[in-house]
Structure 1
């Protein structure tokens, strides 16, 4: 796996490595709960980049960006300082102006946290906007690959 983009597994899930640094932990060396959102954001952004979708290009060219609309997180077990985690991202649903992802953070194959997130497409004014056709096509293709296997 490359640090910047991760990789797609054979079943279409996107895998992204995350190293737990001191700044990610509390005084006890355990990952602070809100930092899982950062890990999941990195995984989603890397997945989009690997699909050829640039946040900057979408904003500059089409005037849209993404915002988390909903997040449900289950914390199963703690991650600790200097752990190497793997964030998996899967496309759960695609709507007109949003898409949903199921993400998990694992250490040695064991799920430590899992999240279901809805990602909204917004325009420069912060209002809902339709998913651009290139984004919809890339996400649909990936979702089909994930459900086939």
Structure 2
């Protein structure tokens, strides 16, 4: 039995990181449909959880004056709306690894039905907002995630 005082954490299923959530009233518009920008929030939570799951601690690196990931580009396609009370799954997959960025596909799914599909480029920037190389150990982690079948 899980501890109700511990926040939910997603998990990897092969190369995919799964992060489940429920649509609450605050996520919807007056018609009870998820407001389009909230899908980006759902995806951000899932990406942050994915990094935590593989041991990438952005907070620690930022505290030492190092860099952090920032969304540099998002391409998103909305297929179907989610509604109040729906249980959703955000599936994240590392698709591309570059020296100073990582490309991640993220899909929001309801009971096997694709609702939203996005490609996110997260650039690694220094404290002044300039691109810098990701730590090699992080690149190695991304390569390992991307190669799992």
Tell me whether the two structures share a fold, i.e. TM-score over 0.5: yes
Unaligned runs of 5+ in 1: none
| Cα distance per residue 1:74-97 (max 9 Å; x no partner) | 000000011110000000100010
Displacement of 1:58 in angstroms is 2.0
TM-score, L = length of structure 2? 0.93
CA RMSD of aligned residues (A): 1.5
| More helix, by proportion | 1
The equivalent position to 1:6 in structure 2, one of 5, 10, 15, is: 10
Q: How many residues align?
A: 145
Contact map agreement 2:65 2:127 (CA 8 A) in 1 = no
Aligned equivalents of 1:26, 1:35: Cα separation in 2: 10
SS at structure 1 position matched to 2:64: helix
Residue 71 of structure 1: CA displacement? Answer: 0.2
The gaps in structure 2 that reach 5 residues or longer are: none
Structure 1 residue 135 displacement after superposition: 1.1
Q: Secondary structure in 1 aligned to 2:8?
A: coil
1:43 equivalent among 43, 46, 52: 46
Runs of 4+ in 1 over 2 A off after TM superposition: 1-5
TM-score by length of 1: 0.93
1:72 to 70, 75, 88: 75
